[in-house]
Amino acid sequence: MSKMTTSLVLGLALVATAGCAKKRPPELPPTPTEIAPPSDGSSGESSDTLAGRLNEQFKREVTSDTVHFALDQYDIDSEARSILGSQASWLVAHPETRITLEGHADERGTREYNLGLGDRRANAAKNYLAARGVSATRITTISYGKERPLALGSDEGSWAQNRRAVTIVIN
């Protein structure tokens, strides 16, 4: 938590000095409730929290935390079935945990469409896990569209890595 606060303060300081105009940029007021968690995705909690440690354990003990998809597709192929199968077994064995499924798309689709496509992928993975015995109430989904690529190139290899759904244990 202290780490989070520090980064928030830093963020605000950046904003305060970013504008060169005479008037300070009238940024939107901060969230009235608690400090928002970092919302930039793809990473989950840092490993020094309980959820972070659980997620590290999950990643060590399953085949992979990530399944991939073909261009503009969201069907679960045989490789993805194998990966999700290992995730389902782990989740059934750890019934106290909850997960977020992040859906992602490559940069070769338009932004808004890709938000819908990432949602499709996250839900396809969610449905598969649910069919393998993981209660759907333990699973939330979020789509990042093309906003958080993992591989940074503009080539087929990078795009294939970025068309993905990532399972993150959140508690």
Partner 1 sequence: MRSFKIALAGLMAASVGVAHAQVTPPAQDDQSGGLVVDVEGGMSAPLPILIPAMPTSAVASTPAGSTDELGRKLAQIVDDDLRNTGLFKTAGPGATRGIAYSEVAQPNYAGWSGGQALVQGYVRANGNGTLTIGCYLYDLAAQTELVRQGFVVSPGDWRRAGHKCADSIYARLTGEGPYFDSQIVYVAETGPKGKRRKQIAIMDQDGANHRFLTNGQNIVLTPRMSPKQNAIVYMSYENRRPSIWIYDMSARTNRRLVDNVSQNFAPHFSPDGRSILFSMSVAGNTDIYRIGTSGGQPQRLTNVPGIDTGGSYSPDGSKIVFESDRGGTQQLYVMNADGSNQKRISFGGGRYATPVWSPRGDLIAFTRTGGGAFRIGVMNSSGGGEKLLTSAWGDEAPSWSPNGRVLMFFRAAQGSGRPDLWSVDLTGVNARKIPTPLDGSDPSWGPIRP
Residue 103 class from Cβ within 10 Å (0-12 exposed, 13-18 middle, 19+ buried)? buried
Using CB under 8 A, which of 143, 164, 167, 169 touches partner 1?
143
10 belongs to the binding site for partner 1 (CB under 8 A): no
Q: Which is nearer to partner 1, 14 or 93 (CB)?
A: 14
Question: What distances in angstroms separate CA 142 from CA 17, 22, 107, one per listed residue?
Answer: 32, 39, 18
Q: Which is nearer to partner 1, 141 or 167 (CB)?
A: 141
Q: Is the dihedral of CA 137, 52, 54, 150 positive or negative?
A: positive
153 belongs to the binding site for partner 1 (CB under 8 A): yes
148 belongs to the binding site for partner 1 (CB under 8 A): yes
Q: Which single residue is written with the structure tokens 């993905």?
A: 164
DSSP state of 138: G
Q: Which is nearer to partner 1, 42 or 63 (CB)?
A: 42
- How many residues in the chain? 171
Q: How far is the CB of 50 from partner 1 (least distance, A)?
A: 18
Q: How far apart are CA 26 and CA 16, in angstroms?
A: 10
Q: How far is the CB of 69 from partner 1 (least distance, A)?
A: 13
Please report which residue ranges of 29-155 form alpha helices under DSSP H. Answer: 50-61, 78-93, 111-131
| Beta-bridge partners for 102 | 142, 166
Q: How far is the CB of 82 from partner 1 (least distance, A)?
A: 22
What tokens does 111 get?
């932004």
Using CB under 8 A, which of 2, 37, 50, 96 touches partner 1?
37
What tokens does 62 get?
């399953």
What is the contact mask toward partner 1 in residues 86 to 105, using x (rule: CB under 8 A)? --------------------
Q: Which range, of 46-54, 56-64, 84-92, 114-122, touches partner 1 by CB under 8 A?
A: 114-122
Q: Which is nearer to partner 1, 124 or 169 (CB)?
A: 124
